Amino acid sequence: MTAATIADLIRRGRRTTLAGRDGQLRLLRQVAATGGPVVAYVHGPAGIGKTALMSALDACLEDDGVRRLHIAAGAVEPSPTAILTALGRAIGHEARTVADLAAALASVKDVTVVMVDDIDTWRLAASWLRADLLPALPASTRFVLAGIVPPPPAWSIDYGPYFLDIRLAALARADSDAAVAAAGLAADIAERIWLLSGGHPLGLRMAIHAARTGSLGTARDAGELANAILHAIGDNDLRRAVEACAIVRRASRAVISAILETSEPIPLSLLEAVEALPFATRDAEGIYIAEPVRRAIVDWMSGVEPERYQLWRKTAADWIVSRLRVAGRSGRWRHMADLLHLLEQPALRNAFFPPGEEAPPVEPARADDFDEILEIAELRHGPGERARIAAWAARLPHRFSVARGPGGDVLAFYLFARQDDPHSGLGAVDPQFAAWQAHLAAHPVAGEVLFIRQIAARADGAFPPGRTACILDLKRNYVERWGVARIYSCAFAEERDLLSRLGFRPLEQPQTCMPDTMVLDIPGGDMIAWFAALIDAGPRGIAHADKLDFARDRREIVVEGRAVELTPLEAQVLGDLVDRAPAVVRREDLIERVWRRAYVGSNVVDTVVRTLRKKLGPRRDCIQTVSKAGYRYVAVGTPAEPGRASEQALTG
């Protein structure tokens, strides 16, 4: 028997000492009981303790002799085939169908608990998982799912008393104080830690660690706390390893060695030291840095050491691309997720992985779907578009796919075609397609050509569930086609800026009543090269966006077509940041240049930036906070997607 390592003891300690979660753990242990819940769904924001709770449950079930299967959803393509393959591999059987998996699980009479972390990444297959897969499996099979987004109501409706919903929130003050005491810290530090963390488990662990190492200082939020911990690390190799881990989605020994440019693989002891830090976790895929902390580290590096940061990103991208080119289908999805993670702008990432909750199932359109498809086309774009889509339906019905609601109704549809499809005569009734054909004839390419003619949903909004599902399914259609050389696409008003940043360029319009036409030439006819080019281009994307419309003489900015007046201080701060972009501007320098005083308190700068961001509205992310350094202006051409800002305190 192999002797336990210190890292084993650390992992065991994390599983068995779970502050403030005893009640949730007792509930979760019911999944292994006779008549207990079939599905337990653990959810809450990043860093709230989902992984720790799952680890504690795993340890308890192991002690009880319960069979467990572990699935990292982020490493599995969200399709029924890939999920069945992953589950079958976990139990040592080949599972091509639901019946295959059910038979393999039925061969074991005892309870089997399937633990799936990062379940949000399977939202495209969530309806199939809930309605098709789980009901067909033996009653002795139980599932524990963990993610950030709350479960859709359909889970509790379908499963009733056999569904357990566990929402994790911040710990109570008493639990926070107990954790501080258990760490051997003085009672007078408990108040400081509570004010800093607000009972958020990640913040609590980090604050305790900082207090024990003497690096707590005057940290005010997650970013400053993470930087305090990093700067207190005396081992330069460990500090650089943590920074390298923050560059990528999942840090393996190989990729970290590549980023750090070591002649030999980095020592395993160095990875174990990273894992021992309070904001790091590890699974079979690698080491993960908690997102609020990872974002803070990246913001600091990109602002203070931009050359090293960009070099490391490029090195990581090159390493992932080299693995992607030789990966099989299952590995390809995982490496593609790693590559897309390196995109710096959330708006670009959302073009491939739109935000949202459970995505409805997407399938090829049936004959009786076309009445609803035409209704949606007319609802969104008028009777003319209805007639054009009807012409496509008559000639290429197999190129339509639909997202379905619970009752089988069509929520959204998309239409894409290939150049080798039989599309004779479509150009005569669809000026959009005629323009694409004329451009292709004048500018031929060697490789496959795709036409994204329409994506439309019945519901309003940027990412209604049906449209989200269609985008994800369409994305898989062309991401898996390595030979695609060009993509033509419609671009309605809300999509033009984003497509431009993805590398699409506009074409001349055949008629003014038609939506914009845009085209993307894949660099070298290589889909992987396109993603690599997006990463090399940085936060602005391949096509540089327009600058912020800022009239200094009138102290006005234009937001969504509306002039917004700034105060003199707001205008001066914005002007100073714009003039020095993309460099980081210290608070002290802003005070000296704008307030013209040696000291007025750094909080006055924070107050002005806060009101300025409020006035910027959807473009508020053009002012970035670099923890312990200051602020910087980053030009953006589209409204930034709401996300977790690195400067946000863990209590927010």
Q: Which domains does the chain have, with CATH numbers?
A: 6-167 (3.40.50.300), 175-345 (no CATH), 362-540 (3.40.630.30), 550-633 (1.10.10.10)
Per-residue tokens: 498: 């984003």
**Stronger pLDDT, 638 or 599, i.e. the higher one:** 599
Q: Quick check: 220 pLDDT over 80?
A: no
Q: Facing residues of 114 across strands?
A: 69, 143
| pTM for the full predicted model | 0.65
Render pLDDT for 73-103 as a digit per residue (tens, 0 to 9).
887 888 888 899 999 999 989 999 999 999 9
For the chain, give the percent of residues with pLDDT over 70. 84
Q: What is the pLDDT of residue 649?
A: 33
Task: State the Cα–Cα distance between residues 248 and 340, nearest whole angstrom.
Answer: 10
Question: What's the average model confidence in pLDDT over 125-151?
Answer: 90
Q: What is the pLDDT of residue 77?
A: 81
Read off the pLDDT band of 71 (50, 70, 90).
very high
**What amino acid is encoded at 568 in this protein?**
P
Per-residue tokens: 116: 């799936």
Least confident of 382-391, 397-406, 460-469: 460-469
Question: What's the average model confidence in pLDDT over 400-413?
Answer: 88
Q: How far is CA 192 from CA 169, 170, 186, 199, 541, in A?
A: 20, 16, 11, 11, 42
Render pLDDT for 455-501 as a digit per residue (tens, 0 to 9).
999 887 656 778 877 877 777 666 666 678 889 988 766 667 777 77
- SS3 at position 562: strand
**Stronger pLDDT, 274 or 647, i.e. the higher one:** 274
Q: Facing residues of 630 across strands?
A: 626
Q: Quick check: 330 pLDDT over 70?
A: no
Least confident of 88-97, 100-109, 296-305, 314-323: 296-305
Supply φ then ψ for residue 43, to 5 degrees: -145, 155
Most distant pair of Cα atoms in the chain: their distance: 81
Q: What is the pLDDT of residue 640?
A: 36
Q: Quick check: 353 pLDDT over 70?
A: no
Question: What's the average model confidence in pLDDT over 217-226?
Answer: 73
Q: According to the per-residue pLDDT averaged within each range, which of 140-154, 289-303, 558-572 is highest?
A: 140-154
Render pLDDT for 609-631 as a digit per residue (tens, 0 to 9).
999 999 988 788 889 888 777 88
Please choose, from the candidates 472, 475, 495, 470, the residue with its C-alpha nearest in 3D space to the C-alpha of residue 487.
475
Per-residue tokens: 532: 């690599």
Cβ(340)–Cβ(332) below 8 Å: no
Q: What is the pLDDT of residue 245?
A: 94
Instruction: Write out the E strands in 25-108.
Output: 39-43, 67-72
